[in-house]
């Protein structure tokens, strides 16, 4: 999956984490010109269980997270919500990455 281009735009560059509901990746937005602004985080809904009750809860939690990010808008300590993509059974959302402070 690394190196893949999602939505014709986001190139996966590293795996940040894997959990019960999916995977999180560091990616580059290939449609932006500034290197710093190109970094983003992609969260893929890919649950480990196919149990229908588990999937219902997982989808609701994932949808709630997307809606919450959309409502929060812009805040310096919260990543900006960039995009949301539904592909087959995998729901994927993108957000800008936060720069760490030194």
Residues 13-30 have pLDDT tens digits of 999 998 877 888 888 888
Q: pLDDT tens digit string along 26-76?
A: 888 888 877 657 788 888 877 777 888 988 888 888 788 778 877 776 777
Please report, to the nearest 10 degrees, the dihedral formed by the alpha carbons of residues 60, 64, 70, 76 taken in order. Answer: -140
Helix (H, G, I), strand (E, B) or coil at 56: helix
pLDDT over threshold 60, residue 91: no
C-beta of residue 36 within 8 angstroms of C-beta of residue 96: no
pLDDT of residue 15: 94
Alpha carbons 81 and 48: distance in angstroms, whole number: 25
Confidence of residue 10 (pLDDT cuts 50, 70, 90): confident
Compute how many other C-beta atoms are within 10 angstroms of the C-beta atom of residue 11. 17
Element (H, E) at 35: helix 35-38
Domains annotated on the chain, with CATH: 5-96 (3.30.200.20)
0.95 cut: is pTM over it? Answer: no
For 81, phi and psi rounded to 5 degrees? -80, 125
């Amino acid at each position: 999956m690394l190196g893949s281009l999602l939505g014709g735009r986001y190139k996966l560059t590293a795996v940040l984490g894997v959990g019960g509901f999916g995977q999180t990746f560091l990616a580059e937005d290939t449609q932006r010109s500034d290197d710093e602004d190109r970094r983003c985080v992609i969260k893929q809904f890919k649950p480990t269980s196919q149990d229908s009750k588990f999937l219902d809860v997982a989808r609701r939690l994932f949808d709630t997270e997307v809606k919450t990010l959309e409502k929060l808008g812009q805040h310096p300590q919260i990543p900006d919500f960039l995009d949301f993509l539904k592909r087959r059974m995998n729901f994927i959302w993108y957000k800008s990455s936060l720069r760490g402070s030194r």
